[in-house]
Amino acid sequence: MTAGAPVPTAAVLVVGTELVYGLRPDTNGPDVARSVAAAGYTPSVIAALPDDRSVIAAHVRDATSAHDLVVVTGGLGPTHDDVTREAAADALGLPLRVEHDVASTLEGIAEGHREPGAASQVLRQACVLEGARVLTPSTGTAPGQVVPTARGHLVLLPGPPGEMRPMLAESLAALVRREQVPPRVIGCVDIRESDAQLRAERALEGHRGVSLTVLGRPSLVDVVLIAHDLDTAALAAAADEVASALAPHCYATDGASLAEVVVGGAAARGITLGLAESCTGGLVAAALTDVPGSSATFRGAIVAYADEIKRSALRVSHDVLAAHGAVSEACVREMATGAREMLGADVAMAITGIAGPGGGGPDKPVGLVWFAVADGSSVSAGSRAFDGDRSLVRERATVHALDLLRLTVAPRA
């Protein structure tokens, strides 16, 4: 594509009544959008559609007339509500034909069904639109299809992500319009979205050809930089300036998660980590163990929810619990020290708090969480008061704990 030419657009349609009703989250839409963007198309719309032939046909008809690329996932299987093939044929005015190689494979599968009519439903998957290029499934039974349209292409893919993703990659490999410079995701913690946006915009004043979007999550903000006719080096330079403007809240400029930064920092310094969790119930440990290779640095966690477990597993004294309670600086300090000793870790983090909705009082309101870090030479402790319901308090406490660990294992100047 020549410089200055319009960027081709794409529409993503995800089919499934369960998605429309919110019974399952849509993972295909974001996956497809990222992939088509990397292939040089601007994703313009993601829409969830029910398993309704007329509704699907109407959306495919509109999308193929308005966009250069339309990707549809779902509705290609063998059951009665898999009607995407027929809907696409209606939309484009094309007949369906039997792909004999696919039919031969499906015949063996169909023989294993006992219900009358099941075999014919399985064999429906061999029907493809006239003129389509067939994408052979590497898993599952439903083939994908790439169909030329008046404006570009329609790609039909099965719904299960494990079946969809290989076919998506295969189809886009032949439809790449231009290689895009991948967006740069700058991760920030403990900063408000609007503050992050304004700092980033000031840093980008000298970088033409970069746009940004800001994505907020509880206690986290991602500043996403998108290149327009820039190379990777130019976008990296812009990302460095934005990261400097966002210091000390910036923890990554390459899209790494906060837990990945913690694990990487600990590994770089040869530090082992341990945890004692109460109100977070293992969420911090789950975040760390989601990171591949975390076993090199993470020793383990003790989820000590009840007071008797704090005493027996973490050696929190009866006197501390009686005088100060489980949600206190004295308790969290002993939890961190006990976890470090019990787990044999260089550094241990402890968390205890009141997630709600009950259990709070004037001196210890719902949302109060204490944190402590023990590193062998000292124990530091502090508290935060988080807003939100039980789930949000626990999520924010988890993020704060990970950030304290990040700062603890950061390379020394």
Domain boundary among 173, 207, 226: 173
228 and 284 co-located in one domain: no
What's the one-letter identity of residue 111? E
Q: Decide if 178 is inside a domain.
A: no
Q: Decide if 4 is inside a domain.
A: no
Q: Decide if 110 is inside a domain.
A: yes
307 and 190 co-located in one domain: no
Look at residues 60, 278, 326, 111 and name the one whose alpha carbon lies nearest to residue 317: 326
Question: What pLDDT sits at residue 3?
Answer: 46
> Using CA atoms, how far apart are residues 352 and 366, in angstroms rounded to an integer?
12
Q: Decide if 3 is inside a domain.
A: no
Rg (CA), the chain: 27
Give Cβ neighbours of residue 199 (< 8 Å, ≥ 6 apart).
242, 245, 246
As given in the structure block, the two tokens for residue 237 are 């330079």
Task: Give me the CATH number covering residue 298.
Answer: 3.90.950.20
Q: Decide if 272 is inside a domain.
A: yes
211 and 331 co-located in one domain: no
Backbone angles phi, psi at 338, to 5 degrees: -65, -40
387 and 268 co-located in one domain: yes
Question: What pLDDT sits at residue 314?
Answer: 98
The β-bridge partners of 140 are none
Give Cβ neighbours of residue 4 (< 8 Å, ≥ 6 apart).
none
Look at residues 268, 360, 349, 238 and name the one whose alpha carbon lies nearest to residue 302: 349
105 and 145 co-located in one domain: yes
Task: Give me the CATH number covering residue 64.
Answer: 3.40.980.10
169 and 21 co-located in one domain: yes
Q: pLDDT in tens for each of the 413 residues of the chain? A: 444 456 799 999 999 999 999 999 999 999 999 999 889 899 999 999 999 999 999 999 999 999 999 999 999 988 889 999 999 999 999 999 988 887 777 776 655 555 656 566 777 888 999 999 999 988 888 899 999 999 999 999 999 999 999 999 999 999 987 767 888 999 999 999 999 999 999 999 989 889 999 999 999 999 999 887 778 899 999 999 999 999 999 999 999 999 999 999 999 999 999 999 999 999 999 999 999 999 999 999 999 999 999 999 999 999 999 999 999 999 999 999 999 999 999 999 999 999 999 999 999 999 999 999 999 899 999 999 999 999 999 999 999 999 999 999 998 76
- What is the number of domains present in the chain? 3
Backbone angles phi, psi at 140, to 5 degrees: 75, -170
* Contact (CB, 8 A) for 163 and 95: no
Give the β-pairing of 184-189 and 127-129. unpaired
pTM over 0.85: no
118 and 232 co-located in one domain: no
Residue 227: domain span: 184-252
Q: Decide if 179 is inside a domain.
A: no
241 and 307 co-located in one domain: no
